[in-house]
Chains A and B, each alone.
Chain A
């Protein structure tokens, strides 16, 4: 593959998007599928021709970029397959114009070697998020769009600021991304690092810039939710963090610890919110945030195993979370609701969707042998190993973070028990018969589910060996990974299979099953006595300390957007009081200004 061919990754999807403006929707869908399929093949192909750098020096790909690029195309293609049927008709055209365009923007971010080009594509990918949010439904979609774009677009200016600070440090005026470097001890080190970190947290959805994710998940078209916040934005955010940690900065220990702590807080805080949500989309949204915490911890720690685990978890998360969002999308399109109180007992009508969602849930909850377990396990291992090298105080700090993360993992399981129960199991709220989702939908979720299994069973042989370890080697982190402890997913699956087999034999041999009517306190359990998933964990909500925390969280004390807007309007109010519309005040300002100018110029200039 010629390096100049990299430009196809931008030009083709952008051109498809333009053509889709004119084509009938059906043709637009077909064209997009063909284009994305072609690009997927190309991105696989590009893996064996690395590193690539175009002659003009504007575009290039190393292993990290090519690795992320591959998953951008896998995800966009599969989510596109899901979207072929079921996108609301009034937004269909806009959707299929924006979709390939977004892919082009993300590819632009990954392949840009020029700082300004990177900034522009990063900003454009945020803009497409805003337009997807404007395609939403419900009362609050425009509020969501506003909030989303204030956080995302607002963080972009910090990205610009951080990058320019970095670039200003170069001895010659140069904008090549690979040349950017800042040593610790530079007076602008922290300013530059945390400016970029703001952009990472906003894009990937880490605390405290996470609050747009659950809102976006609630109101936007569900395909776009699977597409952006749970997939592409994660990839881009963590991609930038990986670059920061390995190339742009010589990262100090304290900075690493801060990122790990942000990660741990994100894991626990978000999952605590997730388990209380009465709406399935918001639950998934919060859980998306929570998972970012692991990636931050892994990639931010700088330990090779944890770094690899972080990248692996990023990929795994995009796969199973897209699976879950899309499965929920199938359910929603069949039932018309994503509120837990309206759902339940759908597994019988939609067995395939249930199976896919089950696999996704097991993967995200970190149940071996699925993919989520493997990557989390790597992150924990890496962090533990890191702890050994730390000074005593830091060791305790790190262990607390680690404990929080493990606790978060348990809560994730709890969260998805609720999800599965409330959506698929439990009792039907008296609904008519439900049909299985169309084939394109379960095919899409099926592919993702397959990935969850394959990446769990063959983690070491496939994704790690083929994709991630070469990335680490190229970045100079580690040539190979030697994992501590012994975990063989195949053996474990074999053992699981044997246990199931024994159980099944016992069941077949004895088979004493009695089916009965359900009674509640001696009365026939009518539909109105049905227990929906809404109050699944109400007891936790009412525990003494937690109650205060939850009340505070519901009042949005943890939402930086709300706090920021309160502060802004407070300050704005003060300034407005100084502008009462009275001419004499204004004349006073002018004269005062003139006097000050005269005083300053005469005193300092003279």
Chain B
């Protein structure tokens, strides 16, 4: 039974790091590596051996309505693989990056707590438990955003904490409503009871959750915390936040709640479509005007989340497929882009695109991988972003929403334009740099190369044979509400 280890391992690592690590960070790094490698191996092992089964684990032997259950299905395993993969590359990137700031074990302890929180959100089958894990992840994220200890970082972290707190309160109110209506906090049980309660109450709960988790996912108009927080954090943390945190706490929960629990009610699907289209277009317009590379990337996260929400809102198998695929792809290329930004920041000490210049020769790996990532996010074949966006656009038109498809097309055009700007100024600019502060080390380059290769390889997931093994089970879980109830309640009750 591997399920609890996804929470236990990172928590234990965080604990041991605080206990064992001395003044140097060597122990902290070793522990974090051990924890993350085993997490990644476990999650891949789980995904490969799942056979489209759902496994339910009751904590301490207490069954579902009283105790808390953990649920492992294709969706949660898919998320676990994604989280732990990005976390491992992020750790690789962190070592040199954080050492050039300080030699500090606290960073790694917080990092492991962040992972524990995210893994917990994904594996839990209990609504309140989910809330607790979410708060664990968020609090470590607040601390990590402020890690650089500069004024703007504190400001960003403070704003993040206030807005995050507000959304958590909204979610908490939603949970309270749910509990009062269904007398249960187990998601599957709620799903079972919900059709019998007053439909208006369901609408209230849905709206509260949509706003609350919409903020975690940084959908418009709940996006304003993201650009500050994601651009102020250290680069490996930015990649964790943009790459996986908004997805684990936001998109994943939206999938779970609105599909497995609520059963995709039409009104919320319509709202998701609108929020998605709004995020795509406004996010990209905000991004294209930025000159701070990380801020530009952060705004693009809003826009890309818009694509996922759009696919989700279509609620057709193809739309969900596109959304799930884009979820993974965005994690890969956005994390890579933040590593690129971080590498350039290490080398030149700037994030300003105007000050970057001719980097193609100086930093061949960084600029090469940034080209791959830029083309991926812009939706250029043969990179992964092309296929997921294509699926979403096809799904939108087939579902009879050519107008929403058009917004996605427009967003794609502007995304391309803004990443052409990144390439032109950031890597093929006019300024020659003779005296780099430091050069990216092997692990940093390894992290970037791994993700760049994955950006290409993950395109293969559209091929029918591979898709049936990887993405289709996830889509099935999302679309199958009764299956989720049966699997969870049938065994645990």
Contact = CB atoms under 8 A, between A and B. Distances in A.
A165 B398 CA distance: 8
Nearest to B398: A168
A17 B227 CA distance: 42
Q: Which of A158, A160, A165, A600 has the most CB of B within 10 A?
A: A160
Contacts of A585: 224
A379 interface: no
A606 to B, nearest CB: 5
Interface string A199-233: 00000000000000000000000000000000000
A191 B221 contact: no
B61 interface: no
Contacts of A579: 224, 227, 286
A146 B423 contact: yes
Contacts of B163: 583, 586-587, 590
Contact of B381 (A123, A565, A602, A606): A123
B409 A168 contact: no
Given A164-B393, A590-B211, A598-B204, A145 B428 contact: yes
B413 to A, nearest CB: 4
Contacts of A598: 204, 207-208
B59 interface: no
Interface in A373-397: none
Contacts of B167: 590
Contacts of B429: 142
Interface string B400-434: 00100110010011101100110110001110000
Contacts of B405: 161, 164
B380 interface: yes
A185 interface: no
Contact of B380 (A153, A164, A605): A153
A606 B428 contact: no
A160 B390 contact: yes
B63 to A, nearest CB: 34
Interface stretch (B65-73, B243-251, B264-272, B323-331): B264-272
B465 interface: no
Contact of A583 (B159, B200, B286): B159
A62 B178 CA distance: 63
B230 to A, nearest CB: 14
B438 to A, nearest CB: 25
Given A149-B420, A161-B393, A586-B224, A606 B199 contact: yes
Contacts of B158: 583
B386 A589 contact: no
Interface residues of A, number: 55
A569 interface: yes
B289 A153 contact: no
B229 to A, nearest CB: 11
Nearest to B430: A139
Nearest to A116: B390
A142 B424 contact: yes
Contacts of A583: 158-159, 162-163
B278 to A, nearest CB: 10
Given A142-B428, A604-B267, A605-B203, A573 B289 contact: yes
B175 to A, nearest CB: 15
A568 B225 contact: no
B222 interface: yes
A581 B394 contact: no
B222 A127 contact: no
A189 to B, nearest CB: 12
Contact of A157 (B379, B394, B420, B430): B379
A154 interface: yes
Contacts of B214: 593
Interface string A142-186: 110110011001101110110011001000010000000000000
Contacts of B398: 168, 173
Interface of A, secondary structure class, is helix
Contacts of A156: 380
Nearest to A565: B417
A134 B288 contact: no
Contacts of B390: 116, 119, 160
B210 interface: yes
B420 A146 contact: yes
A19 interface: no
A565 B159 CA distance: 32
A283 B303 CA distance: 40
A87 to B, nearest CB: 19
Q: Which of B285, B286, B381 has the most CB of A within 10 A?
A: B381
A150 B224 contact: no
Contacts of B228: 581
Chain B interface bracket (under 10, 10 to 19, 20 to 34, 35 or more): 35 or more
A571 interface: yes
A59 to B, nearest CB: 17
Given A191-B402, A583-B159, A590-B222, A120 B417 contact: no
B44 interface: no
B215 interface: yes
B200 A606 contact: yes
A68 to B, nearest CB: 21
A79 B52 CA distance: 55
A602 B206 CA distance: 10
Given A154-B413, A569-B289, A143 B207 contact: no
Interface in A40-77: none
A602 B210 CA distance: 13
A331 B137 CA distance: 65
Q: Which of A154, A569, A579, A606 has the most CB of B within 10 A?
A: A154
B148 interface: no
Interface string A542-581: 0000000000000000000000010011011101100101
A398 B101 CA distance: 70
Contacts of B412: 157
A191 B397 CA distance: 13
A498 interface: no
Given A165-B397, A568-B417, A606-B199, A589 B224 contact: yes
Contacts of A592: 221
Contacts of B382: 120, 124
A188 interface: yes
A303 B147 CA distance: 70
A581 B158 CA distance: 12
A602 B204 contact: yes
Nearest to B421: A146
Contacts of A149: 416, 420
A123 B423 CA distance: 18
Contacts of B207: 594, 597-598, 600-602
B13 to A, nearest CB: 34
B430 to A, nearest CB: 7
Given A590-B221, A601-B206, A124 B288 contact: no
A605 B270 CA distance: 11
B288 A572 contact: yes
Interface in B367-385: 375, 378-382
A605 B267 contact: yes
Given A134-B428, A146-B423, A589 B416 contact: no
Nearest to A191: B402
B166 to A, nearest CB: 6
A593 B289 contact: no
A551 B159 CA distance: 50
Contact of A568 (B288, B386, B409): B288
A585 B167 CA distance: 15
A590 B224 contact: yes
B159 A586 contact: yes
A569 B215 CA distance: 26
A145 B390 CA distance: 24
6 nearest A-B residue pairs (beta carbon): A572-B289, A142-B428, A586-B224, A605-B267, A146-B424, A593-B221
Given A586-B225, A606-B199, 6 more contacts: A158-B409, A579-B227, A590-B211, A590-B221, A601-B271, A605-B265
8 contacts: A149-B416, A150-B416, A153-B416, A153-B420, A160-B393, A164-B405, A191-B402, A594-B208
